[in-house]
């Protein structure tokens, strides 16, 4: 594998860090908050810095970032400033993409999502993986597609079919690494690129997030290695589900701190219920984030999702 080192230096790298990186598209619900609390516990229990990053390259809601920070602080979560906004780092992402392109590590892709799903694939290719349609287009073929008004996305040209990461809760996990998108056809840096660049730049060596993102870790770790960075340690924690065993969302009703307060549940009550779900408190016991930090043992965390119910 060819290693490409791209400089993405940021300040405040005096010691390693963990992080929580919400999208400021609305108020955080219990599932989001529980993952944030776990990310904080993992980081603080290992003497890491804890950072907040707003992943605001997609849809955002005015004031959502401030409300999210208020709710995190209410739980007892603290972090080192500054809060980083991805929308402030577009030039950095562009520089990384340009560097990859200069070494032949990218190609333009004109495929629609439907075309990718309907394209014939090799027998070993996982469902939905990019089949390589535009990987070997000639200059004339690319020019023809541009002339037809189809703006291209930029994909990474990979040299591996899969990559293995080690997760603290799931062990070794191997996942597909196709030629994934690093810049969308509207010019927006893709999540898989931005998260890798930012984690490396901020000195983040521990990533704790929901286990619905486990399948994306091999692509991100592969890209980190390609850029000359050491992939972070991962801990993909169980999700919070509704009574139908579907990932909790605000559509499920009273799931934010504000909603729950209207039903008589204080922030302390919510923290305590989270603690019970994590096996770190007895039912009815009142605990704080500081209490949980003293009790925290990653090896004892449940591996099953939490079915959230108000009653």
222 is in an annotated binding site: no
Q: How many other C-beta atoms lie within 10 A of the C-beta of residue 113?
A: 8
Annotated binding-site residue? 234? no
Q: Is 191 annotated as a binding residue?
A: yes
231-243 burial string, b = 16+ CB within 10 Å, else e? bbbbbbbbbbbbe
Is 109 flagged in the annotation as binding?
A: yes
Determine whether the annotation assigns residue 209 to a binding site: yes
Q: Is 85 assigned to a binding site?
A: no
Question: Is there a binding annotation on residue 64?
Answer: no
Find out whether 55 is annotated in a ligand binding site: yes
Residue 245 in marked binding region: no
State the binding site for Zn(2+). Answer: 109, 111, 130, 134
State the binding site. Answer: 19-23, 55, 109, 111, 130, 134, 191, 209, 250
State the binding site for ATP. Answer: 250
State the binding site for L-glutamate. Answer: 19-23, 55, 191, 209
């Amino acid at each position: 594998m060819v290693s490409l080192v791209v400089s993405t230096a940021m300040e405040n790298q005096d010691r390693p860090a963990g992080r929580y990186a919400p999208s400021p598209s609305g108020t955080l619900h219990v599932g989001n908050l529980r993952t944030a609390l776990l990310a904080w516990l993992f980081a603080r229990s290992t003497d890491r810095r804890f950072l907040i990053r707003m992943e605001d390259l997609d849809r955002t809601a005015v004031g959502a970032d401030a409300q999210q920070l208020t709710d995190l602080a209410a739980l007892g979560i603290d972090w080192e400033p500054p809060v980083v906004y991805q929308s402030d780092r577009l030039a950095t992402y562009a520089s990384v993409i340009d560097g990859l392109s200069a070494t032949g590590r990218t190609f333009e892709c004109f495929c629609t999502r439907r075309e990718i799903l309907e394209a014939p694939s090799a027998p070993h290719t996982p469902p939905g993986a990019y089949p390589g349609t535009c990987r070997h287009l000639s200059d004339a073929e690319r020019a023809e597609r541009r002339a037809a008004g189809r703006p291209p996305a930029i994909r990474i040209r990979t040299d591996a079919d899969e990559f293995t990461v080690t997760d603290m809760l799931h062990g070794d996990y191997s996942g597909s690494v196709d030629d994934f998108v690093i810049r969308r056809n509207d010019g927006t840096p893709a999540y898989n690129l931005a998260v890798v660049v930012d984690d490396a730049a901020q000195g983040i060596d521990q990533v704790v997030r929901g286990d619905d993102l486990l399948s994306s870790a091999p692509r991100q770790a592969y890209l980190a290695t390609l850029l000359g960075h050491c992939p972070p340690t991962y801990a993909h924690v169980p999700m919070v589900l509704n009574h139908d065993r579907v990932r909790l969302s605000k559509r499920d009703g009273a799931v934010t701190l504000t909603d729950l307060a209207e039903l008589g549940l204080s922030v302390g009550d919510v923290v305590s219920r989270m603690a019970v779900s994590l096996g770190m408190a007895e039912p009815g016991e009142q605990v704080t984030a500081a209490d949980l930090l003293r009790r925290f043992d990653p090896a004892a965390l449940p591996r099953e999702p939490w079915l959230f119910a108000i009653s």
